[in-house]
Chains A and B, each alone.
Chain A
C-alpha cells in the first residue's frame, strides 16, 4: 500500500500544478506545516474532523457534498470512514502535495472535480478516476461485508459515472435494479468501470464477446440490451 500512497501523492499532486504551471520548483518550496495544522484545527474536535467539521470543510473548499471530488479527497487524505479525517494523515498528505493554504486546497479540489466530471478525460484523469472509483467500493463497505448493497452501489454509480457512461448508465441501473437485484461484488464493481471504458470504443457493443473475460453479470446486461434493441428495431 506504500506504493499506492506514493502513487496518489506523487501522481496526483500535479493536477493543480498542471493548470497554473508553477512547475517542479514547488517540491523545493518550504511547506508551512503549522498553517496546515491551523486549517485542520479550524474544523477538528481534538485529533479528528467529524461529520460536522467535514461538512463545513467541504463547503469551504467550494464543493458540494455530492461532488465526486469529495471521494477523491477522502482517498487522498486517507479518510478512514465517511465524515472523518484524522490529523496525522491530513497534515502529511497536504504536506506531500505542498499545499498549505485553503486557497490552494480549493484549487486542488476544483482540479479533482474537473478531472472526475470530464466527458472526455485524459489518460491521467482516467487513472485518477479509476483509483477513486475502486476506493469508493471499499470506502462504503460495511464492516465485515464483502459486497455493497445494491442501493448504495446505484447511488455511487450515479454520482461517479454519469458524465463518463451517459445513457449506458441509465440502462445499466435499470438492469441492476429490475433484473439482477442482488448486492454488488467487488469484481462486478471494478469490472463495470472497465466496461464503461470499453463502451467508449464500442458504444453499440457489436464487438462484444460474451465468451470473453467479462463477468457474467455484464454478459447478461449486454444480452438484454441486444434483445431489447432487436425487439425495438423489429417493431
Chain B
C-alpha cells in the first residue's frame, strides 16, 4: 500500500480547517487523483467518516457558541444543542464546484468535440457519480443530522451529499458545457449516425441519457424522478431532428423508389425507432417519438399510399396491402379511402364475374355456376380482409356492403340495369340448394366433389346472409322442399334438417316454422298410410275393400304446403274409383271435421304394358311411369284400341291444355300414334296433324319398342312451369303486402301517432331482415290501411292509429 494512502492522524474535533484538510485529502483520492494511485482504502474511508462524525458532534457537546448555530435566531432546536456541519457542507460544495470547473476547462483546453466529447463526458460522469455515492456514505452523519434538520426546516438549496454532487454537476459542468460545446448536439449526431446505418456505442448513449434523467432534480423531493432536463435539453431537439430527418429522407427516397418500397422502408424505420426506445431512450419518449415518426413517415405520404391501393388490389398483392393497412391504421382516418376503394373494387369484381358467366352461358343460368361465381369473389376478398386487414371493422363493413351490392344486383340477378324487378339471386340460390338436396342429382354425384355436402350448404348460407329478399328465398325454398318431400326425391333427411337449422340460425325460428311443419306432416302422413294399408288388406275379405293396385296417399295441411291445386276438371278413371272412395271414407272416419282436397295434378302412378312386341322373345312387358292424367288417358285403352280427341276429352273431362300436353308426351314416346284429323281433306299428306286437331285419332301402338323396359312419361308440361313462376311471384307479393301492413299496424299501435317519414324509416328497419321494401310499396300499404280505417292522416304529415 503506497505511503500516501496512509491516513494522517485524526484532526482535533474542534478544528474546522484541520478537519476539512483531512477530509479533502480523502476526497481527492475519490474524485480527482488518478485511479492508478489506488483510490481510497477502506481504512481511509473509515477515518474520514470518523473525522466528520467527530466534527459534527464536537461543538454541540462542548456547548461552544462561538460559530454557526446560534446565529439562527428563534429556530434553535429544543434540545439546546446545535448540530454542526454547515461549514463542512460549504467547503464540500466549493470543492466540488472547483473540481468541475477544472474539468470544464480541460474539455475546452483539449478542444473536445463530438464523439471525443461524449466519451470524455461519460468517463468523467462515471467516476463522478461513483464518487458521489462514496461521499454520500462518508458524509452520512452530516446527511442524517445537519442536512436533515435544514431540510426539515424548509431551507432551500440544501441537499444530501449525493444530490449536492448532482446539482453542482448540473450547474457547473452540464449547463456551461452545453453552452460552450453543445454536448446535446454531439449526442444527436451520434444518433443520426446510427440512423444512417453506422454502428455506435449505444451503451454510452444510454449512459448519457441516463445522466440527463438524473440531472432532473426535484428540489423538494430528491427521490422523485424529474425529467425536466431530459425533456428540455434532449427530447425536444431530438424530436425536432427526427422530424427533419424523416421529412427529408422520405422525400428523397420517394424520388427514386416506388411507394411500395417506401412502405417497406417505413416499416423498418418504425421498428428501428421502437428499438431505439428500448435500447437507450427514456421510455417516456415513446408516445411522442412514435407520434412524430407516424406523422412524418406515414401521414405526410398517406395520400400517395392510398392512391396506390387500387393497383395493389388489382394485382392481388396481399402482403403489400397488409403493410399499407398496418401503416395507415396508425394514423387517424387513414383507412377511410381504403374502405371506399375496397368497396367499389369488390363490387366491380363481383359484377364483372357475373357478366363473364352470363357471356359463357347460352341458355338459362345454372344455379350452381351462379352461386359458385358469387362465392369465388366473396372467398377471395374475405380472405384478404381477414389476413391482410385483420378483420378491421371499417374494412369488414365496406366488404359487406360490396357483397350485398353485387350479390343482389348483377346482370343475371336483375337483367337490365336499374330494373325495378326483384333480384333473381334468392331464387337461384334456393334452386342450387334443391339440386344439392335432391336424390341422384348431378351435383350430389359429382365425382370430383370431395367437398362434402355440409360445406356446400355452408357456402349457400355465406351468400344467403347478403341476400336482401330473404322472403323470396323462403318461398322458393319451401316450394322446392315440398316437391322433394311429396315426390320422395329428397336425398337425406339429415341433410334436409341440417339445412333448415342453418336457415333458422340465420333468420330466427319464425323463418323456418313452415319448413319444420312440413317435415312433421310427412311423418304423420306416413303413419296414416301405414294404418290405411293395414286396414285395406284386413278388410279385403268381403271383396269391397280389396284394392286393385298399390295405392298410397299423402295427406298434408293445406295452409302449410304451397302445393298448386288442380286447374282442370277430371274424371277419376273407373279402375281407381274404388281406392278413392275407400280412402275418403277411411279418412273421414278418422277426422270428421276435415276436408280432403285431392291434388290430381300432383298424382302419379305406374302402368304395366303387356301387349307390345319385343324383339325375338316375342311379347315384352314395359313399365310406364305416368302422371295421373296420362294414366286416365291410357287406362281407356284397356277397352278400345283407338279414340278420337273428342272421345278422350269426354272420358277424362280434362281441359285442353292439360289433355294435349299429356298426350303429346305419350305420342312422343310412341305409346300411342296419331292419325287423321280435321276431316282429312284439309291436311296435306306430308304434314303430320297437330295434336288436338278436331277428329284426330289416337291409336295404341302395337309395334311399340324401346331399349328400356321402364319409361318415365311423367315430365313437366311447359305451360305448367311458366304458371308456376308467376304463382311464386304473386305469392311473394301477397306475402309482402300482408307483412308490411302487419308491420305498419304494429308500429302505429304502439306509437299511436307518427310522422310519415318516421313510419317509413321504421317500417324499413323492421322489414330489412326479410326483404328491402321500396318506399312506394310501403306507401301503397299505408294508403290501403287508411282506406281500411286502421289509420288516418293527422296534421303536419303525421299518421294516427285508429283503435
Q: Which A residues form the contact surface with B (CB < 8 A)? A: 146, 185-187, 190-191, 210-217, 219
Contacts and interface: CB of A to CB of B under 8 A. Distances in A.
Interface stretch (B41-49, B143-151, B720-728, B773-781): B773-781
Contact of A187 (B756, B757, B780, B787): B787
B255 interface: no
A199 to B, nearest CB: 17
Given A146-B787, A187-B786, A216-B783, A211 B775 contact: yes
A190 B792 CA distance: 12
A191 B757 CA distance: 17
B783 A211 contact: no
B83 interface: no
A211 B760 contact: yes
Contacts of B799: 213
B315 interface: no
A167 B341 CA distance: 50
A186 B786 CA distance: 9
Contacts of A191: 793
A213 B756 contact: yes
A187 B783 contact: yes
A210 B775 contact: yes
B364 interface: no
A187 B775 contact: no
A185 B783 CA distance: 10
A218 to B, nearest CB: 10
A216 B787 contact: no
Nearest to B760: A211
B784 to A, nearest CB: 10
B172 to A, nearest CB: 81
B797 interface: yes
A180 B780 CA distance: 14
Contacts of B786: 185, 187, 215
A211 B793 CA distance: 16
**From DSSP, what is the main secondary structure of chain B's interface residues?**
helix
A186 B757 CA distance: 22
A146 B786 CA distance: 12
Interface string B755-785: 0110010000000000000011001100100
B787 A211 contact: no
B797 A213 contact: yes
Interface in B129-153: none
B781 to A, nearest CB: 9
B742 to A, nearest CB: 19
Leading 3 A-B pairs by shortest Cβ distance:
A213-B756, A213-B797, A211-B775
Contacts of B793: 187, 190-191, 213
Given A191-B793, A211-B775, A217-B783, 9 more contacts: A187-B783, A211-B760, A211-B779, A213-B756, A213-B757, A213-B797, A215-B783, A219-B776, A219-B779
B703 to A, nearest CB: 60
Contacts of A213: 756-757, 793, 797, 799
A210 B776 CA distance: 8
A216 B776 contact: yes
Contacts of B760: 211
Nearest to B781: A216
Nearest to A194: B793
Interface in B169-208: none
Contact of B787 (A185, A210, A212): A185
B616 to A, nearest CB: 72
A67 to B, nearest CB: 30
Contacts of B757: 211-213
B776 A212 contact: no
Nearest to A186: B787
A211 B764 CA distance: 13
Contacts of B783: 185, 187, 215-217
B780 A212 contact: no
Contacts of A214: 779
B80 to A, nearest CB: 97
Contacts of A185: 783, 786-787
Nearest to B792: A187
Contacts of A187: 783, 786-787, 793
A210 B780 CA distance: 12
A190 B783 CA distance: 13
Nearest to A211: B775
Which residue among B756, B786, B797 has the maximum number of chain A CB atoms within 10 Å of its CB?
Answer: B786
A100 to B, nearest CB: 38
Which residue among A190, A211, A213 has the maximum number of chain B CB atoms within 10 Å of its CB?
Answer: A213
Contacts of A190: 793
A122 B780 CA distance: 34
11 contacts: A146-B787, A185-B786, A187-B786, A210-B776, A212-B756, A212-B757, A213-B756, A213-B797, A216-B779, A217-B783, A219-B779
Contacts of B797: 212-213
A213 B779 CA distance: 8
A216 B781 CA distance: 9
B185 to A, nearest CB: 68
A225 to B, nearest CB: 16
Contacts of B779: 211, 214-216, 219
Nearest to A187: B786
Nearest to B779: A216
A146 B797 CA distance: 23
Contacts of A212: 756-757, 797
Nearest to B789: A146
Contacts of A219: 776, 779
